[in-house]
Amino acid sequence: MLTSKQRATLRSMANNMDSIMQVGKSGIGEELVTSVDNALEARELIKMTVLETAPLTARDTAEELAAAVGADVVGVVGRKMILFRPSKKKPKITL
């Protein structure tokens, strides 16, 4: 669980990042969970976009994905969401 100060730090780090994945009309599938898991292991902090055709809202999608991969939801703004999980092998971000 992240503190509000840690969330603010991570949000500021993600501010200049581009979205690396999108959640579309097929929603959260096994392939998406695997991709998010791999991206979090490599980057630790990722930004994603939830398209209008997605079956869930951005907040619900963020919560479900975070639970599926063991990550924390840093923030959801509009259709963008930010997820964080420290790398198990090579942690890059220290809070």
- The reported pLDDT for the residue numbered 40 is 94
Residues 6+ apart with CB under 8 A from 46: 17, 20, 21, 36, 39, 40, 82, 83
Tell me if residue 60 falls in helix, strand or coil.
helix
DSSP letter assigned to residue 48: E
- The reported pLDDT for the residue numbered 91 is 82
User: Could you read off the pLDDT of 7-53 as tens digits, one per residue?
Assistant: 999 999 999 999 999 999 999 999 999 999 999 999 999 999 999 99
Is the per-residue pLDDT at 88 higher than 90?
Answer: no
Fold adopted by 4-84: Translation Initiation Factor IF3 (3.30.110)
- The reported pLDDT for the residue numbered 93 is 83
Q: Helix H segments across 2-95?
A: 4-14, 30-43, 58-69
Is the per-residue pLDDT at 5 higher than 90?
Answer: yes
